[in-house]
Amino acid sequence: MLNVSIVLYNQTLSEMLPLMEVLRNSSVISNIYVIDNSPTEIPDFHKPEVTYIFNNKNVGYGAAHNIAIKKTIEQKIPYHLIINPDISFEPQILSEIVYYMDENTNIGQLMPKVYYPNGEIQYLCKLIPTPYDLFIRRFLPDSWTRKRTEKFELRNSGYDKIMDVPYLSGCFMFLRTEAVKEAGMFDERFFMYPEDIDLTRRIHQKYLTVFYPEVSIVHHHAKSSYVDFRMMVIHIFNLIKYFNKWGWFFDKERRKVNKEIIKQL
């Protein structure tokens, strides 16, 4: 009923154990794919309940997940969950999400409510970004950009109701396989970072892409591109590719979709 893929880069087995335990306790999971982009493989992952795929190089986040998504499509499994290794949750939420998706076939993608470990909400429901939202805003003082950030992250929604959102975080992407077949898998031109924006946007063209606060997860999130110069360069380089694809300042679809979302709220 549900396949899961996790992409690793230099994680240890001990770091993965809590999430693996949760996934193994879920009754709706068919296959767990661990795609390893690390330079050295983890031998202990060769276990019957997990399909471990060692790439022997870093092929990128989206390209690695595509390896598992292709298998889900071939196996005709109805749902595929893309999840980061730094996520924790109660196993039963997957059954609840499957039930909700079964009852609402117009939903192509779903993200639950996401918290930091300290209980604060992570504001991961966003409008389709402009260059200002992803480039300029990060280099300005928070006090200068607070209103824009609150609008971009849809904070006036309260994060307490089901919403159709055009940009959902890649930390937990619950996908309808049929929607991915129609919209296409991850665009492998993006090594990492904007691949979730791009995929959610393409699915949103054909299906609802839903924030579902009836269930929640915890994301032990570290903004590595804000503290690591090399990751920041990778981030910027791939964002340039994203705006080259969709348009920098003239993006009619972005303007139309964002206007509709704001109007609904």
Domains: count for the chain: 1
Q: pLDDT value at position 136?
A: 65
| Sign of the alpha-carbon dihedral angle for 117, 53, 56, 69 | negative
Q: pLDDT value at position 230?
A: 75
| Sign of the alpha-carbon dihedral angle for 106, 108, 112, 116 | negative
Q: pLDDT value at position 226?
A: 47
Across the range 201-207, mean pLDDT stands at 98
Q: What is the CATH number of the domain that holds 136?
A: 3.90.550.10
229-246 vs 195-204: helix crossing angle, rounded to 10: 30
Residue 51: domain span: 2-264
Over the chain, what is the mean pLDDT? 90
**pLDDT-derived band of residue 199, with 50, 70 and 90 as boundaries?**
very high
**pLDDT-derived band of residue 228, with 50, 70 and 90 as boundaries?**
low
Residue 82, classed as helix, strand or coil, is strand
Q: Rounded to the nearest 5°, which phi and psi values hold at 64? A: -65, -45
Q: Residue 102, Cβ neighbours under 10 Å: how many? A: 13
Rounded to whole angstroms, the Cα distance separating 194 from 187 reads 10
Residue 39, classed as helix, strand or coil, is coil
pLDDT in tens, 37-68: 999 888 777 666 789 999 999 999 999 999 99
pLDDT in tens, 136-183: 666 666 766 788 889 999 999 999 999 999 999 999 999 999 999 999
**pLDDT-derived band of residue 112, with 50, 70 and 90 as boundaries?**
very high
Q: What is the pTM assigned to this prediction?
A: 0.93
* Between 13 and 57, the higher pLDDT residue: 57
Q: pLDDT value at position 225?
A: 42
Outline where the chain has alpha helix (H).
13-24, 61-75, 92-103, 131-134, 142-152, 177-183, 195-204, 224-227, 229-246, 252-264
Across the range 116-132, mean pLDDT stands at 94
Residue 106, classed as helix, strand or coil, is coil
Beta strand 29-36 pairing with 2-8: parallel
Q: H/E element holding 55? A: none
Q: pLDDT value at position 6?
A: 96
Q: H/E element holding 208? A: strand 208-219
pLDDT tops 50 at residue 239: yes
Q: H/E element holding 159? A: none
Q: How far apart are the first and last CA of the chain?
A: 33
pLDDT in tens, 18-37: 898 899 889 999 999 999 99
Q: pLDDT value at position 10?
A: 87
Torsion of CA 72, 73, 79, 83, to 10 degrees: 50
- Composition of the chain by helix, strand, coil, percent to 5: 45, 20, 35
* Between 78 and 131, the higher pLDDT residue: 78
Which residues, at least 6 apart from 190, have a Cβ–Cβ distance to it below 8 Å?
Answer: 60, 62, 198, 238, 241, 242
